[in-house]
Amino acid sequence: MTQIITVGNGKGGVTKTTTAVNLSYELSKKGKRTLIIDFDGQGDTTKFYLEDETPHYLGDVLLDRKFDINQAIYPALVNGAVQDNLFIIPARFDDAMTKLDMDLFSAPKREERLKLQLQKISEPFDYIVIDTQPGTSVLGLNAINAATRFLFPTDYSEHSIDGIEKLLTHIQDVLFVEEDEINYTVLPVKIDNRKKRKNEYGESYTSERWANKVAKTKIMDRSVFDDAEREHLPLSVFSKGHVAARYYSSLAAEIIND
C-alpha cells in the first residue's frame, strides 16, 4: 500500500523542503519507488529535481479532472542524471501557484482533487512525499486529504512548535477526526548542541506533548545543508562522506521500518 507523507508545519523556515527533498531521495536509494509532489509556492523542490520547465505541472493535475496524471510525473534528475525510483510532479514559479490556489477555490471537490487523481496513477509508488507551504490554502487542504501520514519538522523553537499545534488542530477540523486518529511523526531538525536551553525546552515539550510520536532520528544543524541547497542537490550527493549525509538515510530507514 502506498504511503503518502505530507511534510508540513504552520510556520515557515523549519526545513520542510530540505526534509522532503532529502527524505524522498533516500527512500528511492533504498529501493522504494518514490514520488515527490511540489506544493510550495516557491517551487524549491522542483529546482532540486528538474532542470527545465516541463509541459505539465501540478496545476494540470488539480484543475482538469480528465487530465492524465501520469503525464505530469517526470523522472527526477540529479546532476543531470535520471534517478532510479525517484519521480516528481513539479510546481511552477513566480505567481503560478498562488493563481492555482485561487482557481481551485470555486472548483467542485476542491479539497479532494489530489487524492482522487492519485488513485489514477498507472504504476504504483511505495511512497509519495508532499512538500507543502505554511499557512492554510486550498492546496494545503488537498495535501491533508491525500495524506496517510504527516511529518512535522521542528527546530525546537516555540515558533515551530506552535506551528505544529496549529496545523494539528487544522488537520482535525479538515478530516473531522481526533488527534489520536492522525498518523504523524514530529521530526527534530536544525538541532544545535550549543543551544542547551532551547534544546531542553524542545525535548521536554515534545516528549511530554507527543510521547511516542517523536522520530528517533535527529537532523542536526550543519552548514553543509545550506551549501547543498545552493547547488540544489540532496546532501548525500553533495557530500557523500559527511556525517550529515546519514541523517535522512536514517530517517528513511525509520519510516520504512515503522
pLDDT at 44 over 80: yes
Identify the band that residue 133 occupies on the pLDDT scale cut at 50, 70 and 90.
confident
Identify the band that residue 146 occupies on the pLDDT scale cut at 50, 70 and 90.
very high
Structural domains of the chain sorted by starting position, each given as residue range(s) with its CATH number in brackets: 3-257 (3.40.50.300)
pLDDT for 167 equals 96
pLDDT at 241 over 80: yes
Q: What is the mean pLDDT of residues 210-239?
A: 96
pLDDT for 95 equals 84
Q: What is the mean pLDDT of residues 124-132?
A: 96
**Cell, residue 126:** 511505495
Q: What percent of the chain has pLDDT over 90?
A: 88
Identify the band that residue 12 occupies on the pLDDT scale cut at 50, 70 and 90.
confident
Identify the band that residue 6 occupies on the pLDDT scale cut at 50, 70 and 90.
very high
**Mean pLDDT across the chain:** 95
pLDDT for 11 equals 85
pLDDT for 42 equals 80
User: Each residue of 73-113: pLDDT tens digit?
Assistant: 999 999 999 999 999 999 998 788 889 999 999 999 999 99
pLDDT for 176 equals 97
